[in-house]
Structure 1
Amino acid sequence: MRPSISRIALILMGTILAAFGVVTPPATAQPAPPGPDLLGVSQSGTTPVNPVTGAPSAEASKIPPATSGALIVNLSSCSESDLQAAIGAVATVGGTVNLRRGCTYTLTDAAPPNDDNGLPVIKNKVTINGRGDTITRAATAANFRFFEIDGPDGNLTLNALTLSNGHASSSLGNGRGGAIWLSGAGAVLTLNNTSLTTNTADTYGGAIDNDNGVMSVNRSTLYNNGALAGGAMFVNPFGGSGTATIDKSRITGNHATVLAGGIAAAVGTTVTLTSTRVTHNNVTRNNAQGGGIAQAGTMTLKNSKVIGNTATGNTAQGGGIYSLAGTVKLTTNSLVTGNTTNGTNSRGGGVFNTGSGTVALTRSSVTKNQALGTGADGGGIFRASGTVTRIASPVFGNQPNNCGNPSTVPGCS
């Protein structure tokens, strides 16, 4: 169930994001409309239609405890072949793999016949229990990610594990999800106390690309991953849904070249961050958008921090958060601080809102952000269009001004 890219032709379209050619989605998903920008918003600037009705919640999709009759495989070695065989034993029938404590499993080749996956494709309910273990791709190996999770029944839980140095290549596969790719409706991923680090994707989702699936990230870290768009993760509905809940986790030090150094979420997606830090991510290119977050769906931040992210390049927009459509809600003492846009005519050091987007701040602060460079404006918040509302949410100490000169945000000077 691997989509193929019919072309990868980057087109910069004014203030709208770079666009790709048609990508054929998995059989379980509907094709994306032709010519959308990376977040699924029409280049015409018209208000997008959200196709999601009754998107499943991540909480309802968590894996129930394994039954006593489920297959259990205990690994006694740290070898690549034993790991591939163990996961292969449960990948299609379901079960649990318990790794040997403290192993580093170094993969030198993809699991045949999956030339872009280092491990067998997950098509049933599988739990992999690490105990401080690492799965990594050898530096000399061909490019591959680690896991593909196929809907409608693929359901993977990773516990206490590190995945590092995966590379999703567009020359060998679809270039999506440097470590993990959720492919199609029904695909489910749960990360508990897990780290995804130094993974890369040629297109979307340096660590994770979620296409029409459900993911839950708990007490986990996505660090130093990179992609064209969505340096840490990309959430994409492919005409269906696409949900992510991120709890008590860190999205830090990730990077993208066009869009969203940290998290990218397209039209029709639902993303919730609770007690989570999105820090020191970056996007670097002219027209760069969303150093920390770029979104066009429904995103809620609860008691979460967006700190020290950067968008660098001429007309860079949204050092912390770039909002193109849908709604971003910041609640319960969330904070946007120390973020930067840098380049000629850069806008929105903390938050940039455009298109039909809505940014709603409730008891949250936007402080000490910067828009730098000739003609820069809106160090805290810049509203090009759309709606920005604030309830008990101070905006102060931003440079060169809080909300543009003249202010583009009602009630903000």
Structure 2
Amino acid sequence: MSWQNHRAKDPALAAGRSRPARLLAVSGLAVLAGVVLPAPPAQAATTHVKCSVADLVDAVRTANSSPGSDALHLAANCTYRLVVPDRDNPANGLPEVTSDITVEGHGATITRDTSAPAFRILFVDRPGTLTLNKTTISGGKATTTDCPLFPGQGTCGGGILNAGTMTVNKSRVINNIATSELFAQGGGIDNEGTGTLNDTEVSGNTVDYTGTVRGFAPGGGIAADGPLTVNHSRLHHNTVRVPAGTNSQSEAAGLATWADSTVNHTVISDNHASAPGGIARGALVNNAQPPAKMTVVDTVIRDNTNSAPGGLATGGGTATTRTTTLTRTRIIGNHTTAPDGGTARGGGLSIGAFANFTLIDSLVQGNRASAPGGGTARGGGTSNPLGGTLTIDRSRISNNTAAASDGGTAQGGGHFNELGSTTLNHSTVTGNHAGDGGGIFEESGTVTLNDTVVKGNHPNNCAPPNTVSGCTN
């Protein structure tokens, strides 16, 4: 697979026998016969797992083989340290989850020992269902070529690989890695089934592409080829990286999606994409083909960095090629940097040729696109460089910077537009800086201002002169 093209077991229903209905005569009225009493709700089988890896492995195997659902209660605050892989599937530390299992972690950690061979921690296979509560998953190292959606083509899910249904509550997925010389994605979690995260931390995870030809490394924290919902969570200090000299692409150090996704009340911060001589793109990236879309609400995207010396760094906070809506979201303090003659675009956000991006009641502030060493910096705050459609409603674009030293080009401190269509409604563009077009630079395409204020930008509000109707310098 080239990087361009990439991106429970149901319980048997028992046929219950109806009890004969009694006919009761009350004041001359008869109760209808044939009423079926509802069956009592099924109860999950409960297992208390001692602080022992052997007991944990046995508990998962037993749960997989038993009918109905199972609840595994781990020993409170225990560290289950895995030193050998699963006997049946050595790509994983624990047996595959193939039934309906709830893990009540009680603050326990399941980790791979640093001396152990490489394996991810767990895999939820179809038709498995896993609910993970108050558990830490750490130290996983996926190196096996075993992505379910891409057989024989790469490595998926350093900590967790989900091909079934998974819900993670009040847990942590930390310090895992997916690495391959073919293709790798999902340093913390790779979601190819249906996934939900609630009040969960995903941090310190890495995707590392190590090949010698052009390759791809997406989703340092999470990669989602299946539907994903993230609520009240923290995705931070995750990394995606590719080697120099390969013209490769690293993207979405926080979260990459190719399916319907929803992000609510979440912080995506301090993630880093590195691609020397290649393309470094976004901390939050949506590649979902229509009708799938990404919806982000009440979220903070801050202090993320994309670095591509001699290459292209784009969308420091978020980037998209498809349909995306951000509402009441703050995109602040993000940075795209392309030293050594590279190109930096969209310190806060950047959209692609087929994107339909809407920003509502939001803030784009203090972001930077920088190209030291004679490069090109375009769009310190927002960038629409390839022909997409960007709509900004009731939002503020302020104090962003596009900068290029050593004779380089810096345009559009607040917004840069080329080929595409950008409309700002009831918004403000203030206090931004660039070499030219401190507020807005319209290379081509169309920028439309509706009840929007563009003022106090340096060295001017809009450039070239007379390109943006309604903007004065």
Whether TM-score is above 0.5 comes out as yes
The answer for the alignment partner of 2:296 in structure 1 is: 273
1:220 aligned to 2:233?
A: yes
Classify 1:94/1:235 alpha carbon distance in 2 versus 1 (closer, same or farther; 3 Å): farther
2:266 is aligned, of 249, 255, 266, to: 249
State the partner residue of 1:168. Answer: 178
Q: How does 1:177-188 map to 2 (within 5 A)?
A: 177-183=186-192, 187-188=193-194
2:39 pairs with 1:103: no
Alignment of 1:226-305 (within 5 A): 226-227=239-240, 228-236=250-258, 242-257=259-274, 258-268=279-289, 269-285=292-308, 286-305=311-330
Distance 2:48 2:233 in 1: 24
Change (3 A) 1:156 1:347: same
Offset of residue 370 of structure 1? 1.0
In 1: Cα distance, 2:266 partner to 2:314 partner: 23
Q: 1:210 aligns with which of 209, 221, 224?
A: 224
Per the alignment, residue 319 of structure 1 pairs with 347
Change in 2 beyond 3 A, CA 1:390/1:161: same
Secondary structure of the 1:231 match is coil
- 1:321 offset after TM fit, Å? 0.9
Contact 2:50 2:56 in 1 (8 A): no
**1:41-52 pair list within 5 angstroms:** none
Q: Distance in 1 between matches of 2:427 and 2:44?
A: 51
Q: CA deviation at 1:114?
A: 3.8
Deviation at 1:328, TM superposition (A): 1.5
Q: Which amino acid is the alignment partner of residue 464 of structure 2? A: P
* In 1: Cα distance, 2:383 partner to 2:197 partner: 30
Distance change (3 Å), C-alpha of 1:75 and 1:99:
same
The 8 Å contact of residues 129 and 160 in structure 1, kept in 2 or not, is answered as no
Query: What letter is aligned with 1:249?
Result: T
**Conserved? CA contact 2:229–2:261, under 8 Å:** yes
1:114 to 1:282, Cα distance in 2 relative to 1, 3 A: farther
Alpha-carbon distance in structure 2 between the residues aligned to 1:256 and 1:158: 25
Letter in 2 for 1:161: S
How far off is 1:192 after superposition?
1.4
Tell me: higher relative CO, structure 1 or 2? Use CA pairs within 8 A at least 6 residues apart. 1
The residue number in structure 1 matching 2:413 is: 379
Equivalent AA in structure 2 for residue 364 of structure 1:
S
Name 2:43's counterpart in structure 1: 69
CA–CA separation in structure 1 for the residues paired with 2:470 and 2:385: 18
Change in 2 beyond 3 A, CA 1:403/1:301: same
1:86 & 1:385 partners in 2: Cα distance?
Answer: 58
Give 5+ residue unaligned stretches, structure 1: 6-20, 23-34, 40-66, 237-241
Q: 1:350 aligns with which of 378, 381, 396?
A: 381
Q: Where does residue 53 of structure 1 map in the other structure?
A: none
Identify if the C-alpha distance between structure 1 residues 392 and 139 changes in structure 2 by more than 3 Å, giving closer, same or farther: farther
Question: Counterpart of 2:391?
Answer: 360
Q: How far off is 1:103 after superposition?
A: 3.4
Asked if 2 retains the 8 angstrom alpha-carbon contact of 1:147 and 1:181, the reply is no
Alpha-carbon contact 2:285-2:319 (below 8 Å) kept: yes
1:392 aligns with 2:393: no
Aligned-residue Cα RMSD (Å) equals: 2.7
| CA-to-aligned-CA distance 1:204-224 (integer Å, 9 cap, x gap) | 21121111x111111111111
Q: Could you tell me the percent identity over the aligned residues? A: 33
Query: How far apart are residue 317 of structure 1 and its match?
Result: 1.1
Deviation of 1:85 (Å): 4.2
Report deviation, 1:83.
3.9
Contact 1:125 1:155 in 2 (8 A): no
Secondary structure of the 1:382 match is strand
